[in-house]
C-alpha cells in the first residue's frame, strides 16, 4: 500500500515538473558591468519585470568597475547554485564563452543584455544596436563640428562588444569628412580614470574640438574636464546615456548631445524573457518575440535609442513615459 502511495505521489510530482518546462519558483540572475546609475536602471527594470511574474526571484551582481575575471567567476557561482536563468552584459565576450556553454548544458537559460557575445551560444541578446547607435553619435558630431577638427574617443572598454561597435559606427559616420580621431582612451569603467583621461586629452591636444564619450561614465567626465579647463561649450561633447547627471549637463549646455539607451527596458525584458524560456521552453519564448527563425547569433531584441539634445529634452521625457519607463531623474 505504502509503495503504491509513494508511486502515485512521485508520478504526480514528476508530471508537475515536466508539464511543458514549467518550474515555479523561477530564479534568475543578472550580471552587470560596473557600479553606475546606468546599471541601477537595468537592475530596477529587471526587478520590476520579475515582480510582475508569479514566483520569480532575481539575484543581482555588478563589479565595482570593469572586471572580466569576477564576471566569469560570478557566473560560475550562479551556475553552481543552480539558478534557472542568467542575463549577463559581458565585458569580454570571449572570456564568458565556456561558462555560457556549461550553463546551457545544464539547462540554465542564458541571454545577454546591454552588450552581446554572439558566438557564445547565448539564446538571445536584448539591448541597443550599438553599431547603429555609434553611427548616430558620429552623425551628430559631424554636424556640430561642421565636418572638421580633432576628436578624442573616451571609453570604458576595449573588449566589450558594445564599446567596439560604438567606435566602429562612429568612425563610419566620419568617413569622407575632415574630422580625425586623435586617440582612444580606456578607463575600464573607472570614474577617476575617466576624468584623468579626458584631462590628459585636453592637455595633449590643445586644439581638440570634440569628445566622443562611449560609455555612461564618459560624457560627465569629459564635461568636468572641459569645465575645469575653462572650455565649456567650446569643446563639443557627444556621448551615451541619459542619467540624471547627463541630463543636467545637457541642460547646462556642456554636453551637446547624448545617445540615450533604454537600460530599464533591457532589465525588464530580460526578466520576462528568461521567465518565459524557463516556464514555457525556449522555442515558445523565441517565437513570442519573433526571434525563432533567425540564426542564433542574429537573435537581437533591439531596445531602441533616442538622440537627446537640449531642444529635445521634453519630447524625450514624453517618449519615455509613453514607453512606460519611469522618469524619476527629471
Quick one: 39 or 275, whose CB is closer to ligand BGC? Answer: 39
- Kind of pairing, strands 148-155 and 178-186? parallel
Our finding on whether 212 is near ligand BGC (CB under 6 A) is no
Stretch that binds ligand BGC, among 46-54, 67-75, 102-110, 210-218 (CB under 6 A): 210-218
Of residues 75, 107, 109, the one with CA closest to residue 91: 75
Our finding on whether 84 is near ligand BGC (CB under 6 A) is no
Our finding on whether 240 is near ligand BGC (CB under 6 A) is yes
Stretch that binds ligand BGC, among 16-24, 49-57, 214-222, 273-281 (CB under 6 A): 214-222
CA–CA separation, 204 and 225 (whole Å): 13
**Restricting to residues 182-201, which ones interact with ligand BGC according to CB under 6 A?**
189
Our finding on whether 162 is near ligand BGC (CB under 6 A) is yes
Of residues 266, 306, 318, 329, the one with CA closest to residue 48: 266
What does each C-alpha distance from 145 to 111, 121, 175, 178 come to in angstroms? Answer: 39, 41, 14, 10
CA–CA separation, 246 and 313 (whole Å): 11
Stretch that binds ligand BGC, among 34-42, 202-210, 245-253, 287-295 (CB under 6 A): 34-42
* Least distance (Å) between residue 4 CB and ligand BGC: 57
Our finding on whether 303 is near ligand BGC (CB under 6 A) is no
Quick one: 112 or 279, whose CB is closer to ligand BGC? Answer: 112
Our finding on whether 114 is near ligand BGC (CB under 6 A) is yes
Strands (E) across the chain are located at 26-31, 56-61, 85-88, 109-113, 125-127, 148-155, 178-186, 208-213, 236-240, 257-260, 300-302, 306-309
Stretch that binds ligand BGC, among 33-41, 168-176, 199-207, 314-322 (CB under 6 A): 33-41
Do the beta carbons of residue 39 and residue 62 sit within 8 Å? yes
- Kind of pairing, strands 306-309 and 257-260? antiparallel
Stretch that binds ligand BGC, among 30-38, 94-102, 197-205, 297-305 (CB under 6 A): 30-38
Our finding on whether 213 is near ligand BGC (CB under 6 A) is no
| Residues in contact with ligand BGC by the rule CB under 6 A | 33-34, 36, 38, 89, 114-115, 156, 162, 189, 215-217, 240-241, 261
Amino acid at each position: 500500500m505504502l509503495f503504491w502511495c509513494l508511486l502515485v505521489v512521485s508520478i504526480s510530482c514528476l508530471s508537475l515538473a515536466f508539464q511543458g518546462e514549467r518550474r515555479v519558483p523561477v530564479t534568475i540572475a543578472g550580471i552587470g558591468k560596473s557600479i553606475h546609475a546606468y546599471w541601477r536602471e537595468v537592475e530596477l527594470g529587471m526587478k520590476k519585470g520579475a515582480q510582475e511574474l508569479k514566483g520569480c526571484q532575481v539575484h543581482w551582481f555588478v563589479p565595482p568597475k570593469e572586471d572580466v575575471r569576477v564576471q566569469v567567476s560570478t557566473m560560475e557561482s550562479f551556475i553552481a547554485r543552480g539558478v534557472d536563468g542568467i542575463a549577463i552584459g559581458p565585458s569580454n565576450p570571449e572570456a564568458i564563452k565556456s561558462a555560457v556553454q556549461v550553463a546551457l548544458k545544464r539547462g540554465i537559460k542564458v541571454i545577454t543584455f546591454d552588450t552581446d557575445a554572439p558566438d557564445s551560444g547565448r539564446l538571445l541578446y536584448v539591448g541597443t544596436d550599438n553599431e547603429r547607435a555609434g553611427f548616430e553619435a558620429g552623425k551628430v558630431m559631424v554636424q556640430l563640428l561642421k565636418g572638421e577638427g580633432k576628436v578624442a574617443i573616451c571609453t570604458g572598454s576595449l573588449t566589450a562588444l558594445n564599446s567596439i561597435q560604438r567606435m566602429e559606427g562612429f568612425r563610419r559616420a566620419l568617413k569622407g569628412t575632415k574630422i580625425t580621431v586623435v586617440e582612444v582612451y580606456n578607463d575600464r569603467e573607472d570614474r577617476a580614470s575617466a576624468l584623468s583621461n579626458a584631462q590628459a586629452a585636453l592637455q595633449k591636444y590643445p586644439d581638440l574640438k570634440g569628445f566622443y564619450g562611449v560609455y555612461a561614465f564618459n560624457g560627465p567626465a569629459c564635461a568636468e574636464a572641459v569645465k575645469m579647463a575653462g572650455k565649456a561649450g567650446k569643446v563639443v561633447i557627444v556621448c551615451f546615456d541619459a542619467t540624471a547627471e547627463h541630463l543636467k549637463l545637457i541642460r547646462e549646455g556642456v554636453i551637446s548631445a547624448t545617445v540615450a539607451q533604454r537600460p530599464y527596458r533591457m532589465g525588464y525584458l530580460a526578466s520576462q524573457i528568461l521567465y518565459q524560456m524557463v516556464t514555457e521552453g525556449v522555442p515558445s519564448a523565441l517565437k513570442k518575440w519573433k526571434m525563432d527563425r533567425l540564426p542564433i547569433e542574429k537573435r537581437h531584441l533591439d531596445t531602441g535609442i533616442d538622440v537627446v539634445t537640449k531642444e529635445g529634452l521634453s519630447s524625450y521625457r514624453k517618449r519615455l513615459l509613453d514607453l512606460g519607463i519611469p522618469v524619476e531623474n527629471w
